[in-house]
Structure 1
Amino acid sequence: MSATRWMAAALIAAWIPLASATTDERIKPALEEIQKLVAASGDGPGIAIGVSDRERLLGVVVHGYADLKTAKPVTPDTKFAIGSISKSFTAVVLLQMADAKKFDPAAPISKYLPQFRVNTTYPAITGHSVLNHTSGLPNYLPHLSSMRYALYALHDFQPTYAPGDHFEYSNTGYQILGYVAERIDGDSFPSILERRILEPLGMHATEPQMDDTVRQSLAISYERWPYDGSYVESNWFPYTASDGGIASNTEDFGAYVRFILNRGVGPKGRILSPAAFEAFITPALDNYAYGVNVSRAAGKTVVGHGGSIYGFNSYFEAHIDEGFGLTFLSNTRLDSELVGRVIGIASKALGGNGQPATYRKFTNPPAQDWNDTSRYEGTYLRQDGVRAVFSKGQDGRLLMRSSDGKQVELRRMGRNIYGGRATGAYLFFGDSEVSHGADWYTKEGAAVPESVTTPAEYRAYVGRYQNHNNEGPDVRVFVRRGRLMVTSATSTSFTSELVAVSPGVFRLETPSHSPERYQFDTLDDGVTLRLQVTGVPLYRVDLP
């Protein structure tokens, strides 16, 4: 992954509205309020916000940089990857084919792709169950991202429930739907998108796939470096699959939102029949329909979805009954609270109730001072009485002194994660406790948990595992209060207990029906060297 660090702290942010000559008078005061709100969010990577009604783009607010190194500002024409919002385009394509009687959502996927099969005794997986993420297929196979071999990699996959029983998001499923569309249409999926959606909607600036020819036309995307919070350039790799391969700008994105606001009608006529559009926005489980989330609170229908890839993040929300929609494009993580407040401002200006969709929470994780170690400092006790004392070091580091008097310096490895060569395993801090490999400590003065025994085999599993493809994954396995845990290598945004289902094989604690399986194997010198996550191979690396 590229880690080009941004050091130009003196750059000045740039932000502009859509030219006032074309800005709707109803929205001007709201745009000015949004501009002030966005400008107060600080300098750095950029954001472009579009507001549309059923007829046109009413206004745009932009802020920040498309390229931090050159101080190139974001403009209304800046292109961003839209990630998983691409799924709804795939759904529209297949619904068009359903209108033409070429695709039946109720039919098994294998009717269109005979090479698609899974190892199951449950009923066949249908297009309907893949479209609404109730198929039981695994979420993502990153080592096979946008690779047709994913069809064959699923032959040994064993679903844990019948199609339709549970909602579990599946990028893999939507990748397969693109291959279904290609088989039916006889053309490449990017060409299908251009002919069936982009051209009819006038989305001439939109890229239907992320190949290498597209890279120079996009903003540079950024992620937070986990060790100090600075911005680093995200990795780039070609991505051509139908679950997340589209890039667009604010004007084009607004055209897509207007297609939804007009219930399947574009500027040149119908894209979807009324019946197909209704299927598009009819949720099954967890407020999810066909590639979109749907809220139907207080008799109002709100359709939306988010997306992320390469560090790009996007979101749209179409308030169908009230006749307005918003788009958000960014080359770094979107501030969720900011998104919710912007939607509220625009909604009040355009006759809505001032509320965003009910299917998601618009809150951010607690702000973090990268140099503040106070929450970690203190004395911690292991169950056998061994002590570890943590105190403040330099530049956001921690000092750890063990019972034998040795002191080592710990570097920040991510949110609540510290480590160093001298510690071997990293240290993961929770509420009043810290895990260190297969051991865990409770902070002095905190309630001590009941005595538990850690299964002996867990010590073999503890460690860091990586897949060195473009997207990882990179995870850490540790023990907390006798339970085997997994988290991402640099963030605690995903942390879960692993529950044993058979020797060396585990599932996530929540949900219990999760199709994902974690299998440890290749025992060597007391430790396992490989962790397979639903068939994705990760290998032990000697890093903290």
Structure 2
Amino acid sequence: MTEFGEAFKRLDQFIEQTMELAKVPGMAVAVTDRERLLRVSTYGFADVAAQTPVTPEMLFEIGSISKSFTSIALLQLCEEGRLDLHEPVTRYLPWFEVQSEYEPITLHHLMSHTAGIITGMEFTGEVRYEVWALRETEATAPPGTYYHYSNVGYKALGIVLEDLLGRHYGDIIQERILDPLGMIATEPIITHETRKRLAVGYEGFYDDRPLPRGRPLAPATWLEYAGGDGSIASTPADMAAYLRMLMNRGQGARGRILSEESFDLMTHKVIEAKEEGRGSYYGYGLEIRDTDGHTHIEHGGGMVGYYSYVMADMDDGLGVVVLMNGPGGRCDEAIAKFALKLLRAALHDQELPPIPPINPAKIENAPEYTGTYRAFPEQSRGAISKMLTLMAEGERLMLRYGDERMGLERRGPDRFYVDHPDFALFLLRFGREKGKVVELFHGPDWYTNDRYTGPTTFDHPQEWDAYPGHYLSFNPWLSNFRVVLRKGALALIGPSGDEKQLVRLGTDVFRVGEDGHSPERLRFDTILNGRALHANLSCGDYYRTFAP
């Protein structure tokens, strides 16, 4: 029998280091092989205020990992001859409607995120209305040709299960998956009763700006939920049992819940999932990746206050479950990846990999960003400074701001966080010209350095002056966003700092993102005193707020 003791010690060190840096409140991790649970470990607090530690029995919401449960239930019905994945959705939901010039959307398209429909804004906790509201949206690509992650598509699939079987979604998942796998601690839907067993979920203290590392979190908004896109709450041991079933190709400890043929359908590479990162493909409720010559099946989950990841090596038969009760900058996936590397090395009696260094202030290519950046008055009337100077100090990138010097922290390609109140609302984002960094953006402000050779004046339609501002809703999934006008173009900036160009499609309608197939739309209306008071983002309503 393989000894994993040293691998587990190193994994603990990495987890503790990661949690300290990201300030994750609590975490539970399970490791399993094809036959048995190898380990459950817990870290941190389930309730920070009460100093209640995480225990193995506590529930965590697993979010979109639930999509694979929905897919399994649908595949079971296919085996029973009760539905056909390649029939139009309207065969099972006659009222399902999306504006489209293309062929009908099928269950297969929804299961593989290839229907060409919106992600969904979670603007109501009632799944049927959100699916009904798809009639106000448009499919923007031929079904089966374009990957765009869609929660509302899986909401529709959950309703198909309910209408076909005449039972509630939670009862279907309980009877068809949880009970046969012995997942006795798992809850298929999230209710007030579930809350008693859940670790407390946490989010950033501020919901309108990038999250500073190491800053206090606040208890997340509590929500009840039942839907096919993500309503399961589970424990690490139960999720390890689920992974064992997947690693055994549909065979559970008490019997088979999915045929070999159905499992092959579930894990075949339907389409490259470019939104999820290089080398990722989507099947039915699962991502499939080729990693270091091994086939991985995996999926992440995000709920309000909860983050999770499951990953299984189908060749070596090793699986990892990571459950967290607070944001951590995708450290759940990083922990799962490192855990599998450690386990593989131990299994094959190889030297254990070193703990990956975690230093967000380390920027190897810092010299690429150095220089003096000046704001153009016409483009940046409210700029926090007329001039910003970036300097490299070893592998750190420093910003000179007045009499202060501060280090930058990488948050993505050419994107950095500055830990200073004047920079709190937006990331610094750099632009390139022929590979060279030539400009810098901070929210609506635009700066250029000596290498910039492009235009400095830009025209835009006069009516666009009404659109920039901060828009708010009471939707805890996306409570707010900002619209900025910069270089003659509009952009939408989310709380985390993610930015997407707005491409005009009509007088007051914009496509969100440069991708011509993106189905997401932003509409403005109710113009008062030259300012739009209302914006609709893919069926979700937002209203201009007084806050900057």
TM-score, normalization by structure 2: 0.81
Picking from 301, 321, 324, the partner of 1:327 is 321
Q: CA deviation at 1:273?
A: 1.1
Q: CA deviation at 1:343?
A: 2.3
Pairwise mapping of residues 52-91 of structure 1 onto structure 2 (< 5 A)? 52-91=32-71
Picking from 249, 263, 266, the partner of 2:252 is 266
* Whole-Å separation in 2 of the counterparts to 1:140 and 1:151: 9
* Whole-Å separation in 2 of the counterparts to 1:32 and 1:539: 50
Amino acid of the structure 2 residue aligned with 1:113:
L
Q: CA deviation at 1:472?
A: 3.4
Query: Where does residue 281 of structure 1 map in the other structure?
Result: 267
Query: Where does residue 255 of structure 1 map in the other structure?
Result: 241
Picking from 12, 36, 42, the partner of 2:13 is 36
Query: Where does residue 17 of structure 1 map in the other structure?
Result: none
Structure 1 unaligned runs (5+)?
1-23, 357-361, 370-374, 393-397, 402-413
* Whole-Å separation in 2 of the counterparts to 1:133 and 1:473: 24
* Whole-Å separation in 1 of the counterparts to 2:135 and 2:60: 35
Q: CA deviation at 1:326?
A: 0.9
Q: CA deviation at 1:469?
A: 2.9
Query: Where does residue 157 of structure 1 map in the other structure?
Result: 137
Amino acid of the structure 1 residue aligned with 2:312:
A
Picking from 465, 476, 496, the partner of 1:470 is 476
Structure 2 unaligned runs (5+)?
273-280, 364-368, 390-399, 404-415, 431-438
Picking from 530, 536, 543, the partner of 2:534 is 530
Query: Where does residue 315 of structure 1 map in the other structure?
Result: 309
Q: CA deviation at 1:73?
A: 1.3
Which SS does the other structure have where 1:30 is aligned?
helix
Amino acid of the structure 2 residue aligned with 1:483:
A
Which SS does the other structure have where 2:180 is aligned?
helix
- Quickly say closer, same or farther: Cα 1:123–1:288, change in 2 above 3 A: same
Query: Where does residue 103 of structure 2 map in the other structure?
Result: 123
Query: Where does residue 3 of structure 1 map in the other structure?
Result: none
Amino acid of the structure 2 residue aligned with 1:129:
H
* Whole-Å separation in 1 of the counterparts to 2:199 and 2:167: 29
* Whole-Å separation in 2 of the counterparts to 1:133 and 1:379: 42
* Whole-Å separation in 1 of the counterparts to 2:357 and 2:117: 29
Query: Where does residue 167 of structure 2 map in the other structure?
Result: 187
Q: CA deviation at 1:471?
A: 2.7
* Whole-Å separation in 2 of the counterparts to 1:44 and 1:327: 16
Which SS does the other structure have where 1:511 is aligned?
coil
Amino acid of the structure 1 residue aligned with 2:464:
Y
Amino acid of the structure 2 residue aligned with 1:70:
A
Amino acid of the structure 2 residue aligned with 1:491:
S
- Quickly say closer, same or farther: Cα 1:352–1:141, change in 2 above 3 A: farther
2:311–2:336 CA contact under 8 A, matched in 1: no
Amino acid of the structure 1 residue aligned with 2:283:
A
2:123–2:130 CA contact under 8 A, matched in 1: no
Q: CA deviation at 1:311?
A: 2.1
Picking from 435, 454, 457, the partner of 1:452 is 457
Which SS does the other structure have where 1:178 is aligned?
helix
- Quickly say closer, same or farther: Cα 1:447–1:121, change in 2 above 3 A: closer
Query: Where does residue 409 of structure 2 map in the other structure?
Result: none
1:203–1:255 CA contact under 8 A, matched in 2: yes
- Quickly say closer, same or farther: Cα 1:105–1:32, change in 2 above 3 A: same
1:511 paired with 2:520, answer: no
Amino acid of the structure 1 residue aligned with 2:299:
H
Q: CA deviation at 1:120?
A: 1.7
Pairwise mapping of residues 128-277 of structure 1 onto structure 2 (< 5 A)? 128-226=108-206, 229-277=215-263
* Whole-Å separation in 1 of the counterparts to 2:510 and 2:161: 35
1:303 paired with 2:297, answer: yes
Q: CA deviation at 1:94?
A: 0.3
Select between 455-464 and 336-345 the one with higher mean Cα deviation.
336-345
2:236–2:323 CA contact under 8 A, matched in 1: yes
Q: CA deviation at 1:245?
A: 0.3
Q: CA deviation at 1:44?
A: 4.8
Q: CA deviation at 1:299?
A: 6.2
Q: CA deviation at 1:491?
A: 1.9
Q: CA deviation at 1:470?
A: 3.4
Q: CA deviation at 1:536?
A: 1.4
The C-alpha deviation readout for 1:122-164, integer Å capped at 9, x for no partner, is 1111000000000112101311244311232112322111110
Identity of aligned residues (%): 32
Select between 452-461 and 317-326 the one with higher mean Cα deviation.
452-461
- Quickly say closer, same or farther: Cα 1:130–1:38, change in 2 above 3 A: same
The C-alpha deviation readout for 1:192-237, integer Å capped at 9, x for no partner, is 0010000000000001001111112101112233475222111111
2:113–2:149 CA contact under 8 A, matched in 1: yes
Give the paired residue count: 488
The C-alpha deviation readout for 1:487-513, integer Å capped at 9, x for no partner, is 11x321x21111112221111334220
Q: CA deviation at 1:76?
A: 2.0
Which SS does the other structure have where 2:271 is aligned?
coil
* Whole-Å separation in 2 of the counterparts to 1:389 and 1:107: 60
2:122–2:130 CA contact under 8 A, matched in 1: no
2:376–2:456 CA contact under 8 A, matched in 1: no
- Quickly say closer, same or farther: Cα 1:208–1:419, change in 2 above 3 A: same
Query: Where does residue 80 of structure 2 map in the other structure?
Result: 100
Pairwise mapping of residues 386-535 of structure 1 onto structure 2 (< 5 A)? 388-389=385-386, 415=417, 429-431=428-430, 433-435=440-442, 437=444, 440-442=445-447, 447=452, 449-455=454-460, 456-488=462-494, 490-492=495-497, 494-535=498-539
Amino acid of the structure 2 residue aligned with 1:253:
M
RMSD of Structure 2 on Structure 1 (CA):
3.3
TM-score, normalization by structure 1: 0.82
- Quickly say closer, same or farther: Cα 1:112–1:453, change in 2 above 3 A: same
Q: CA deviation at 1:117?
A: 1.4
Query: Where does residue 3 of structure 2 map in the other structure?
Result: 26
- Quickly say closer, same or farther: Cα 1:146–1:446, change in 2 above 3 A: farther
Query: Where does residue 410 of structure 2 map in the other structure?
Result: none
* Whole-Å separation in 2 of the counterparts to 1:353 and 1:112: 52
1:347–1:354 CA contact under 8 A, matched in 2: no
1:200–1:266 CA contact under 8 A, matched in 2: yes
